[in-house]
């Protein structure tokens, strides 16, 4: 009996020792982890974090680290900026020059700017990086390696981690047009993104169902364009409404606050104003910008609307330049998304102003020609005069954005009328648009719906999850299996045009933060390994084994997630 009791106590002790041990089996997996699990550094309360106090970013990252260690383990670390012997040290290092005598600064790639090393040895934990972005990614790695356990100390196996992301663009879209999400929630969303090493927040700000961005020169746009009178319940085609007015928009001050919060987490905010389609909320406020003159309502149901901005009215371009001008003032992003998707042309085909503009520009009908990357459904995707008119508008906005030092991103429909010079294509209708654009030497972001649409179900059994957009399943394994460089179709040189991979959380069926998080997680965990890791590191079965540690952190952070994996 006594022996059994002793064994029992020994087991508890073993479990508690195990629970206090760090593990570098994290998500996304770092490039290189050389661990020695026979030797440990013991992290204890009262230990110091040293950093360069003169650098505000380093200071903030040290504070994050202090917060995250406390959150996971309840251990209090001390901020000791100048302590050279502190057991935890954050340090910026200069990149080595190829030619030692050269006075030129070393040009780092975007990925090198986020690279870091994290070493744990007998002296403690040393984090080094070329830029603060790298220190931040390293601090997240350390955070994810810690056990979620309250205790006096944590044992960290000795390790040398060398890490760098595979892609420079690692994005997630949140659709705030169909449903409005609070600033507070967007910050939580950004925290979740940062946890997964993402660096681009694609903020979908306008839709037929609501205009969410304040434009100071056009105050009615957000005030009136953000409110729909009612919302369809259940399938859109049934047209059954709740009869409850729904609205909300972001002031420019709130947008700047989001930009700052994101930047502190090394996330760029890519704002999208979707045009010339998906504009019914703007048409409600400015009916003169539509081909028929309206009246128009802020759309109460989902789908592709035939009412779009008039392509022949010069006031359309004046309106767009006002909107994109203020957008550039608020968002420092090098990329500005202009939408460009799902713009039916039936109004343009009959509109005297659109047809006059087509004539003036001499746009001919080549709609019978096959468009690489389009799905060639006649006037929808062919090189029709109307699609060329859309390309003309894109060109005008591209020039305008270039004058502000920005590049344009558009959904892959922008291929149809001919790509403008500097356009970046976001490939959503599969990968073919991205492949076609890369073959034309244009930059590409892969976001193919069947691998990247987070509004779709993640489990085969619809009954097990909240209502989502149906038609196909986007499971964790499906997401994980995606290869953004499409090696079977692109040469190495062409694949260099692929900037990265993005997941899209559309919100027709997602009205609440908890539901949005459920759609996001843990699928972002699967996506993050495609965004961050090299293909030879990927192993879905191994990913599943690493997920429980991350889920403990989700719990700690109050992040809702789907608890089943397919």
Q: Kindly tell me which of 132 and 277 has the beta carbon lying closer to ligand ACM.
A: 277
CA 479 – CA 530 distance, rounded (Å):
8
Task: Please report how close the Cβ of residue 342 comes to ligand ACM at its closest, in angstroms.
Answer: 5
Q: Kindly tell me which of 348 and 482 has the beta carbon lying closer to Zn ion.
A: 348
Task: Please report how close the Cβ of residue 380 comes to Zn ion at its closest, in angstroms.
Answer: 17
> Cis bond leading into 89, ω under 30°?
no
Task: Please report how close the Cβ of residue 84 comes to ligand ACM at its closest, in angstroms.
Answer: 52
Task: Please report how close the Cβ of residue 411 comes to ligand ACM at its closest, in angstroms.
Answer: 5
Tokens 């892969």 belong to residue = 446
Q: Which of 286, 348, 411, 451 binds ligand ACM (CB under 6 A)?
A: 411
| DSSP secondary structure code for residue 104 in this structure | S
x/- binding map, residues 451-490, to ligand ACM, per CB under 6 A?
----------------------------------------
Which residues does residue 207 pair with via DSSP β-bridges, in sequence order?
Answer: 210
Exposure string for 464-487, b = 16+ CB within 10 A, e = fewer: ebeebbeeebbbbbbbbebebbbe
Quick one: what does residue 155 bind among ligand ACM, Zn ion, none, with the CB cut-off 5 to 8 Å set by partner type? none
Q: Does 254 bind ligand ACM (CB under 6 A)?
A: no
Q: Kindly tell me which of 45 and 430 has the beta carbon lying closer to ligand ACM.
A: 430
How many Å is the Cα radius of gyration of the chain?
26
Of 313-352, binders to ligand ACM (CB under 6 A) are 341-342
Chain-centroid distance of CA 227 in Å reads: 26
Q: Kindly tell me which of 197 and 340 has the beta carbon lying closer to Zn ion.
A: 340
Task: Please report how close the Cβ of residue 277 comes to ligand ACM at its closest, in angstroms.
Answer: 9
Tokens 């030619």 belong to residue = 99
CA 403 – CA 443 distance, rounded (Å):
19
| Sign of torsion over alpha carbons 317, 318, 319, 322 | positive
- 171 neighbors 142 (Cβ within 8 angstroms): no
Contacts with ligand ACM: how many residues (CB under 6 A)? 4
Pairing of strands 88-92, 78-79: unpaired
Task: Please report how close the Cβ of residue 197 comes to ligand ACM at its closest, in angstroms.
Answer: 24
Quick one: what does residue 411 bind among Zn ion, ligand ACM, none, with the CB cut-off 5 to 8 Å set by partner type? ligand ACM
Q: Which of 180, 392, 428, 561 binds ligand ACM (CB under 6 A)?
A: 428
Task: Please report how close the Cβ of residue 391 comes to ligand ACM at its closest, in angstroms.
Answer: 17
- Closest alpha carbon to 258 in 197, 360, 184: 184
CA 490 – CA 438 distance, rounded (Å):
8
Task: Please report how close the Cβ of residue 373 comes to ligand ACM at its closest, in angstroms.
Answer: 14
Quick one: what does residue 547 bind among ligand ACM, Zn ion, none, with the CB cut-off 5 to 8 Å set by partner type? none
Chain-centroid distance of CA 68 in Å reads: 22
Q: What is the DSSP string of 542-559?
A: HHHHHHHHHHHHHHHHT-
Which residues does residue 155 pair with via DSSP β-bridges, in sequence order?
Answer: 21, 42
Q: Kindly tell me which of 341 and 422 has the beta carbon lying closer to ligand ACM.
A: 341
By beta carbon distance, the residue nearest ligand ACM is: 341
Quick one: what does residue 353 bind among ligand ACM, Zn ion, none, with the CB cut-off 5 to 8 Å set by partner type? Zn ion
Q: Kindly tell me which of 83 and 342 has the beta carbon lying closer to ligand ACM.
A: 342
CA 564 – CA 458 distance, rounded (Å):
9
- The residues that touch Zn ion, with contacts defined as CB under 5 A, are 291, 310, 312, 351, 353-354
Task: Please report how close the Cβ of residue 519 comes to ligand ACM at its closest, in angstroms.
Answer: 15
Quick one: what does residue 354 bind among ligand ACM, Zn ion, none, with the CB cut-off 5 to 8 Å set by partner type? Zn ion
| DSSP secondary structure code for residue 456 in this structure | S
Q: Which helix (H) or strand (E) element contains residue 71?
A: helix 56-73
Quick one: what does residue 310 bind among ligand ACM, Zn ion, none, with the CB cut-off 5 to 8 Å set by partner type? Zn ion
Q: Kindly tell me which of 127 and 354 has the beta carbon lying closer to Zn ion.
A: 354
| Sign of torsion over alpha carbons 184, 187, 193, 199 | positive
Tokens 């592709």 belong to residue = 304
Task: Please report how close the Cβ of residue 237 comes to ligand ACM at its closest, in angstroms.
Answer: 18
- Closest alpha carbon to 410 in 394, 396, 387: 394
Tokens at 9, concatenated: 């106590």
Q: Kindly tell me which of 154 and 446 has the beta carbon lying closer to ligand ACM.
A: 446
Of 527-556, binders to ligand ACM (CB under 6 A) are none
Which residues of the chain form contacts with ligand ACM (CB under 6 A)? 341-342, 411, 428
């Amino acid at each position: 009996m006594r022996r059994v009791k002793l064994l029992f106590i020994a087991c508890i002790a073993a479990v508690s020792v195990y629970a206090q041990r760090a593990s570098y089996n994290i998500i996304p997996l770092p490039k290189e982890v050389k661990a020695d699990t026979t030797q440990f550094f013991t992290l204890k309360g009262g230990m110091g974090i040293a950093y360069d106090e003169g650098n505000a970013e380093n200071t903030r990252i040290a504070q994050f680290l202090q917060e995250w260690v406390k959150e996971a383990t309840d251990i209090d670390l001390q901020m000791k900026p100048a302590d050279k012997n502190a057991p935890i040290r954050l340090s910026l290092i200069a990149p080595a020059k190829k030619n030692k005598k050269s006075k030129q600064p070393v040009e780092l790639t975007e990925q090198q700017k986020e690279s870091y090393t994290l070493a744990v040895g007998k002296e403690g934990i040393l984090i080094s990086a070329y830029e603060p972005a790298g220190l931040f990614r390293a601090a997240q790695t350390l955070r994810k390696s810690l056990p979620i356990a309250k205790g006096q100390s944590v044992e960290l196996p000795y390790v040398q981690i060398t890490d760098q992301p595979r892609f420079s663009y690692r994005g997630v879209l949140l659709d705030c047009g169909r449903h409005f999400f609070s600033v507070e929630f967007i910050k939580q969303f950004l925290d979740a993104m940062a946890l997964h090493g993402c660096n681009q927040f694609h903020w979908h700000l306008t839709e037929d169902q609501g205009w969410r961005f304040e434009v100071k020169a056009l105050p009615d746009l957000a005030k009136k364009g953000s409110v729909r009178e009612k919302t369809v319940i259940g399938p859109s085609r049934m047209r059954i409404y709740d009869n409850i007015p729904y609205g909300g928009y972001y002031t420019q001050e709130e947008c700047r606050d989001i930009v700052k919060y994101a930047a502190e987490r090394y996330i760029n905010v890519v704002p999208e104003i979707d045009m010339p389609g998906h504009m019914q909320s703007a048409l409600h406020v400015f009916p003169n910008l539509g081909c028929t003159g309206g009246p128009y309502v802020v759309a109460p149901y989902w789908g592709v609307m035939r009412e779009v901005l008039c392509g022949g009215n010069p006031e359309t371009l004046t309106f767009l330049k006002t909107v994109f001008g203020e957008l550039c003032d608020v968002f420092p992003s090098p990329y500005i998304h202009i939408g460009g998707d799902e713009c039916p042309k039936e109004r343009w085909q009959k509109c005297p102003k659109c047809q006059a503009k087509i004539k003036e520009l001499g746009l001919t009908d080549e709609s019978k020609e096959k468009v690489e990357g389009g799905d060639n459904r006649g006037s929808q995707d062919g090189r029709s005069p109307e699609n060329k008119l859309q390309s003309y508008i894109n060109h005008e906005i591209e020039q305008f954005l270039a004058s502000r030092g920005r590049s344009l991103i558009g959904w892959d429909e922008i291929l149809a009328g001919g790509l403008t010079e500097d356009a970046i294509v976001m490939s959503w209708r599969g990968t073919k648009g991205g492949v076609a654009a890369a073959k034309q030497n244009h930059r590409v972001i892969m976001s193919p719906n069947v691998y990247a649409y987070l509004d779709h179900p993640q489990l085969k059994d619809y009954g097990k999850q909240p209502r989502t957009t149906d038609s196909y399943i986007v499971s964790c394994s499906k997401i994980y299996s995606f290869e953004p460089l499409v090696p079977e179709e692109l040469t190495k040189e062409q694949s260099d045009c692929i900037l990265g991979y993005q997941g899209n959380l559309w919100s027709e069926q997602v009205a609440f933060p908890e539901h949005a998080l459920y759609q996001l997680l843990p699928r972002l965990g699967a996506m993050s390994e495609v965004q961050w890791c090299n293909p030879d590191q990927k192993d879905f079965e191994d990913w599943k084994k690493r997920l429980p540690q991350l889920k403990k952190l989700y719990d700690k952070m109050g992040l809702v997630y789907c608890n089943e994996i397919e």
